[in-house]
Each structure stands twice: as structure tokens, then as C-alpha cells.
């Protein structure tokens, strides 16, 4: 059996920056992600609600109401018991 000798082990911890930098501006990473998520969810909610009013086909309305409930479910926090 062959022995393995380790002479030096260097652990480098990478710290992720909280900002995204460009040549013209600095942007907070968490704020950008939040605004993007809320914008997409808001667009989906408006689209689903509009299609529920416009579309008269019951089968299509089921799809839009399901999409609307999924979007609302991600925005509304789940209930918790408080002691």
C-alpha cells in the first residue's frame, strides 16, 4: 500500500458580492431579483385575470384560474401557528 502525503492544503473561501457592477451603474443583487420576480408574477396575474374576463370557454378558464391561484399562492405567505 502506498502512503499519500499532503504537504499543504489551502482552503479559499469565496465571498459572493451583494452588488452587480456594470460600467454605468451598481445594482443590488437581492433587489434586482425581487423586482424581477414580482414583475413576472404581476404580469402573470394581470394576464390570467384578463383572460378570465375575456375568454368565455369554460375549459380555457380552468387553465387561467389555475395559473392565477399558483401566482397568488407564491405571493401570499403560508399560515403559521403563533404561540
Give pLDDT tens digits for 52-61: 899 888 888 8
Can you give the residue ranges of every domain in the chain?
A: 47-76
Nearest alpha-carbon partner for 75 in 43, 50, 47: 43
Q: Using the predicted structure, report yes or no on whether residue 14 has a pLDDT greater than 70.
A: no
pLDDT in tens, 38-83: 899 999 999 999 998 998 888 888 988 998 999 888 888 877 888 7
Amino acid at each position: 500500500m502506498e502512503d499519500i502525503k499532503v504537504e499543504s492544503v489551502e482552503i479559499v473561501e469565496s465571498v459572493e458580492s451583494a452588488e452587480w457592477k456594470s460600467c454605468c451603474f451598481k445594482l443590488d443583487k437581492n433587489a434586482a431579483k425581487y423586482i424581477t420576480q414580482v414583475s413576472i408574477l404581476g404580469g402573470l396575474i394581470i394576464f390570467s385575470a384578463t383572460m378570465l374576463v375575456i375568454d368565455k370557454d369554460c375549459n380555457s378558464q380552468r387553465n387561467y384560474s389555475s395559473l392565477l391561484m399558483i401566482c397568488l399562492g407564491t405571493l401570499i405567505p403560508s399560515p403559521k401557528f403563533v404561540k
